[in-house]
Amino acid sequence: MTPLLPHGQDPSPALPQILVVDDTPANLGLLVDHLEARGYEVLVALGGQEALDRLRYAQPDLILLDVMMPGMDGFETCRRLRADAQTRDIPVIFMTALTDVDSKVSAFAAGGVDYVAKPFQIEELIARVRTHIALRKARVELMAQKMSLQAEVEARHLVEASLRDSELRHRRLFETAGDGILVIDCDARTIHDLNAQCAHILAMPLDEVRGRYLDDLPIFAAAGDARTIVDTLRQSGEMKWSEWTWERPDATTVSVEVLCTTYRVGHRLLAQCTLRDVKARKEAEARIRYLAMHDALTGLPNRTLLMDRLSHGIARARRDHTQVGLLLLDLDHFKHINDSLGHFVGDALLEEVSKRLRSVLRDSDTPARLGGDEFVIAAEDLSGSADAESLAQRIQAALEPDFHFGSHTLRIGTSIGISMYPADGDSPSALLQAADTAMYQAKKNGRGTYRLFTSDLTMAAERWHTLSNDLYGACERGEFALHYQPQVSVSDSSITGLEALLRWHHPTEGLIQPALFIPLLEEHGRMVEVGRWVLRTACLQNAAWQAQGLPKVRVAVNLSAQQFYRGDIVRAVRDALDESGLAPEWLELELTESLTLDDTEVTVRVMEELKAMGVKLSLDDFGTGWSSLGYLRRFPLDRIKIDRSFVRDIVNDHSTAAIVHSILGLARDLNLDCVAEGVETAEQLEHLRRENCAEIQGYLFSRPVEVAQIEDLLRQMQTADVATLPQKKSGTR
Ligand SMILES: Nc1nc2c(ncn2[C@@H]2O[C@H](COP(=O)(O)O[C@H]3[C@@H](O)[C@H](n4cnc5c(=O)[nH]c(N)nc54)O[C@@H]3COP(=O)(O)O)[C@@H](O)[C@H]2O)c(=O)[nH]1
């Protein structure tokens, strides 16, 4: 064991260490003295077990082991040392007085390396000790050498294995790469190697390409002289072609992007070229270009492409002295369909419309979708506006038949505005502006029509835009008012109801009729907010009349589709009733027939919620819509209002009279009340009286009038004897 050294003293090289095992302390003392005197470090143990214990912590170079010891004798101790891997190699010299052959044999059999007889000659013992320590040292050094040799071999194997791995990995990468890889030997000007993808791009078998001269391959013929390529590679170390196109042996054409870089292997200069097929990139670019130019839903050209085609069309027409027509289409009621039936049906309708449009167009016509329900057709090579008009008629005819989507059957009209090059503008944007103006006019004239642009329409369009601006804040500025038109009992001329009709007191233009500004409010999404104001005002007014003790009559408020589907109408009605204190039975909501387009759960549910509150529901403009009569049974209605277009012709036209007769019969069968609208003459009234129509509304009794006049009428009703209707008209018309 290495003794602790005083501070500052260098440790001497480790001394050979000897463990002496003897149960006789006198023997031990003697031996220790001799051994230490000869430069050995000595450990001692007084018995076999103690020796084994010490050897757990020490690794002496030699053990001197007494044979005859109490407890575990020397032989047994030696056997145990040999059995333990940690002590197996420590040489053991037995010291014993037994000198018979058997004892000596036993000593060697137990694993001893030598034997000294007691009493021993100290010099002999020292000589044996030195020899065995030298032998052990030599053995240890040999083993160390063997081990380092083995470690070296193993390390080399490891490096070789990892080189093989790396080579395999790179080979695999090379072979399975998505890009083609071609290795050129710049000195021999041959193909040194290539991967399967490269062979695929070249459309040549791999083995046929490997080793070939560059000049023999069509790819290099396409790129230029092989010698020039190699020279450039030699000089600059790299080369790049963004697109390299050539015809392959199988007669197909391929385009690749190529990047070559050189590297040295030993004395050879190689160049690795990566060939990337640019077809996928070109397809993606084409797709992006397509998406940028087309409408994703219908696949029709979008505004950008339309404007481009239009400007080319105008240029051609200028050259050929022909005309270009621009038709701007707006699908009537589309917003309503989208809101009520959902975007799925809305989208399906737009797709179907685009198909039908395509079916009536010539190759030289460009259909486009600008967004929403706005479609445009640019028609080239026209000889005049009559051609554009006949195209408009063909389009309207194509869109006329019913559209079927699942359980929904829809009919959709189109308003079309037409502008012509050169008459109405000589640029795409001027033509589009003119067509837009004409389209608004077509819509105003009654939907489902077309209109050619004329310069006076510009003024109408300008007025439209001015009014749109003026409408902002009109409600807050108190510019809206309600007029009321009585609904009257045919039997006794008493007023049964008052229809609330919205009026706009424009600051400079005076009173503006709702037919002009309600579509504007709808267009700008303001009808929900203004409709709420109408509801609230009508309820407060009716409650105030009742509070004044005037006869109780119902007040009828018109609801637009926008209010019904987007405005949380149930809550708006409840708020109006709560705030005014009006009993619900005195409020009637007039729903237009177009609302019944959607006879789905939503419509029925909202109607039932309104009905459950106790308000009355009536169906306005009855007979003008295109929905089935079946909804009359499904919807919880109280009243239908026969549209004034029927009343107008009721006296002169038999078939109209027959329709009104049927409507009244149907209403009776379904237990619905009926009001005939637009009654202007005594003859119409008489006809309706004969048909047992219970109530009428129209100029014959009164136009819509201001609050004060309605109050007069209600007071007259309180006091005067009720006269027949025609007599009543004199005071109020
Ligand atoms: N959603 C809302 N719609 C409203 C509201 N206020 C009005 N309107 C709708 O605007 C349309 C035009 O209304 P208006 O100009 O007031 O015309 C009404 C009557 O003046 C007119 N009428 C009544 N009697 C006669 C007649 O004998 N002859 C004749 N030529 N016209 C007559 O009819 C209009 C009322 O029609 P209706 O509503 O169908 O009962 C109109 O569609 C209004 O609904 C509003 O607050 N919200």
Distance in angstroms (rounded) separating the CA atoms of residues 496 and 36: 138
Confidence of residue 11 (pLDDT cuts 50, 70, 90): very low
Q: Is 677 in the pocket of ligand 1 (CB under 6 A)?
A: yes
Buried b vs exposed e over 654-664: b needs ≥16 C-beta within 10 Å? eebbebbeebb
* Residue carrying structure tokens 């005594």: 682
What's the 330 CA to ligand 1 centre distance in angstroms?
24
State yes or no: pLDDT of 564 exceeds 50: yes
Query: Which atom of ligand 1 has the smallest separation from the CA of 503?
Result: 6
Please state which of the ranges 274-283, 421-430, 582-591 shows the lowest mean pLDDT: 274-283
Nearest alpha-carbon partner for 680 in 724, 649, 714, 711: 649
Confidence of residue 407 (pLDDT cuts 50, 70, 90): confident
The pLDDT value recorded for residue 135 is: 93
Distance in angstroms (rounded) separating the CA atoms of residues 317 and 311: 10
What's the 722 CA to ligand 1 centre distance in angstroms?
26
Query: Which atom of ligand 1 has the smallest separation from the CA of 534?
Result: 46
Q: Is 678 in the pocket of ligand 1 (CB under 6 A)?
A: yes
What's the 468 CA to ligand 1 centre distance in angstroms?
21
- Backbone φ and ψ for 639, nearest 5 degrees, come out as -150, 150
Confidence of residue 13 (pLDDT cuts 50, 70, 90): low
Nearest CA to ligand 1 atom 24: 698
Nearest alpha-carbon partner for 489 in 235, 194, 725, 659: 725
Q: Is 486 in the pocket of ligand 1 (CB under 6 A)?
A: no
Q: Which residues contact 599 (CB under 8 A, 6 or more apart)?
A: 627, 630, 631, 634, 635
Token readout for 604 is: 């029925």
Nearest CA to ligand 1 atom 32: 678
Mean pLDDT of the chain: 88
Give percent of the chain above pLDDT 90: 55
| Single-letter residue type at 258 | V
Q: Is 501 in the pocket of ligand 1 (CB under 6 A)?
A: yes
The pLDDT value recorded for residue 727 is: 47
SS3 assignment, position 653: coil
Pairwise pLDDT comparison (239 vs 324), residue with the higher score: 324
Token readout for 419 is: 């502008």
Burial class of 430 by CB neighbour count within 10 A (0 to 12, 13 to 18, 19+): middle
Using only C-alpha atoms, the chain has a radius of gyration, in whole angstroms, of: 55
| DSSP classification of residue 215 | G
Q: Is 621 in the pocket of ligand 1 (CB under 6 A)?
A: yes
Distance in angstroms (rounded) separating the CA atoms of residues 430 and 326: 11
Confidence of residue 6 (pLDDT cuts 50, 70, 90): very low
Q: Which residues contact 694 (CB under 8 A, 6 or more apart)?
A: 489, 490, 491, 673, 674, 675
Nearest alpha-carbon partner for 329 in 287, 378, 286, 269: 378
Mutate-to-test residue for ligand 1 from 518, 555, 622, 683, highest number of ligand atoms within 8 A of CB: 518
Note the pLDDT tens digit of each residue in 588-616.
999 886 665 555 677 888 999 999 999 99
What's the 642 CA to ligand 1 centre distance in angstroms?
13
What's the 597 CA to ligand 1 centre distance in angstroms?
21
Q: Is 4 in the pocket of ligand 1 (CB under 6 A)?
A: no
Strand order of the β-sheet with 17-21 is 41-45, 17-21, 62-66, 92-96, 114-117
Confidence of residue 9 (pLDDT cuts 50, 70, 90): very low
The pLDDT value recorded for residue 353 is: 95
State yes or no: pLDDT of 552 exceeds 60: yes
What's the 615 CA to ligand 1 centre distance in angstroms?
21
What's the 542 CA to ligand 1 centre distance in angstroms?
19
Note the pLDDT tens digit of each residue in 620-644.
888 765 444 666 777 899 999 998 8
Contact assessment for residue 405 and residue 348, using Cβ atoms and an 8 Å cutoff: yes
- Backbone φ and ψ for 203, nearest 5 degrees, come out as 55, 40
The pLDDT value recorded for residue 323 is: 95
Note the pLDDT tens digit of each residue in 165-202.
998 998 899 988 889 999 999 999 999 999 999 998 88
Nearest CA to ligand 1 atom 3: 558
Where are the extended beta strands (E) located within 107-208? 114-117, 180-185, 190-194
Q: Is 593 in the pocket of ligand 1 (CB under 6 A)?
A: no
Token readout for 135 is: 């032998």
Q: Is 560 in the pocket of ligand 1 (CB under 6 A)?
A: yes
Contact assessment for residue 483 and residue 511, using Cβ atoms and an 8 Å cutoff: no
Contact assessment for residue 679 and residue 694, using Cβ atoms and an 8 Å cutoff: no
State yes or no: pLDDT of 720 exceeds 80: no
Query: Which atom of ligand 1 has the smallest separation from the CA of 704?
Result: 20
Nearest alpha-carbon partner for 396 in 444, 439, 449: 449
Cis bond upstream, residue 422 (ω within 30): yes
How many residues in the chain? 733
Cα angle value 295/300/306 (rounded, 5°): 90
Please state which of the ranges 243-257, 373-387, 564-578 shows the lowest mean pLDDT: 243-257
CA quadruple 711, 713, 718, 720: dihedral sign:
positive
What's the 515 CA to ligand 1 centre distance in angstroms?
8
Q: Is 620 in the pocket of ligand 1 (CB under 6 A)?
A: yes
The pLDDT value recorded for residue 4 is: 34
Buried b vs exposed e over 83-114: b needs ≥16 C-beta within 10 Å? eeeebeebbbbbbbebeeeebbebbeebbbbb
Contact assessment for residue 193 and residue 210, using Cβ atoms and an 8 Å cutoff: yes
What's the 106 CA to ligand 1 centre distance in angstroms?
133
Query: Which atom of ligand 1 has the smallest separation from the CA of 620?
Result: 39
Note the pLDDT tens digit of each residue in 36-73.
999 999 999 999 999 999 999 899 999 999 999 998 99
Distance in angstroms (rounded) separating the CA atoms of residues 78 and 111: 6
Note the pLDDT tens digit of each residue in 117-139.
888 888 999 999 999 999 999 98
Q: Is 704 in the pocket of ligand 1 (CB under 6 A)?
A: yes
Note the pLDDT tens digit of each residue in 333-368.
788 788 778 888 899 999 999 999 999 999 889 999
Instruction: Give mean pLDDT, residues 418-433.
Output: 92
The pLDDT value recorded for residue 421 is: 94
The pLDDT value recorded for residue 222 is: 65
Alpha helices of 334-427 — where are they, by DSSP H? 334-341, 343-360, 385-399
The pLDDT value recorded for residue 367 is: 95
Pairwise pLDDT comparison (485 vs 518), residue with the higher score: 485
Confidence of residue 223 (pLDDT cuts 50, 70, 90): low
Distance in angstroms (rounded) separating the CA atoms of residues 556 and 542: 10
Distance in angstroms (rounded) separating the CA atoms of residues 144 and 136: 12
| Single-letter residue type at 343 | H
Instruction: Give mean pLDDT, residues 310-314.
Output: 94
| Single-letter residue type at 383 | S
Q: Is 698 in the pocket of ligand 1 (CB under 6 A)?
A: yes
Domains by residue range for the chain, with CATH? 18-132 (3.40.50.2300), 177-282 (3.30.450.20), 299-453 (3.30.70.270), 469-720 (3.20.20.450)
What's the 500 CA to ligand 1 centre distance in angstroms?
9
Q: Is 513 in the pocket of ligand 1 (CB under 6 A)?
A: yes
What's the 570 CA to ligand 1 centre distance in angstroms?
23
Cis bond upstream, residue 119 (ω within 30): yes
List, in sequence order, every residue forming a beta bridge with 641; answer none if it has no partner.
675
Distance in angstroms (rounded) separating the CA atoms of residues 509 and 123: 142
Where are the extended beta strands (E) located within 445-553? 450-452, 480-489, 495-506, 510-512
Note the pLDDT tens digit of each residue in 230-288.
998 999 999 888 888 878 888 888 888 889 999 998 889 999 999 988 887 778 778 87
What's the 501 CA to ligand 1 centre distance in angstroms?
6
Mutate-to-test residue for ligand 1 from 336, 558, 640, 700, highest number of ligand atoms within 8 A of CB: 558
Q: Is 522 in the pocket of ligand 1 (CB under 6 A)?
A: no
| Single-letter residue type at 60 | P
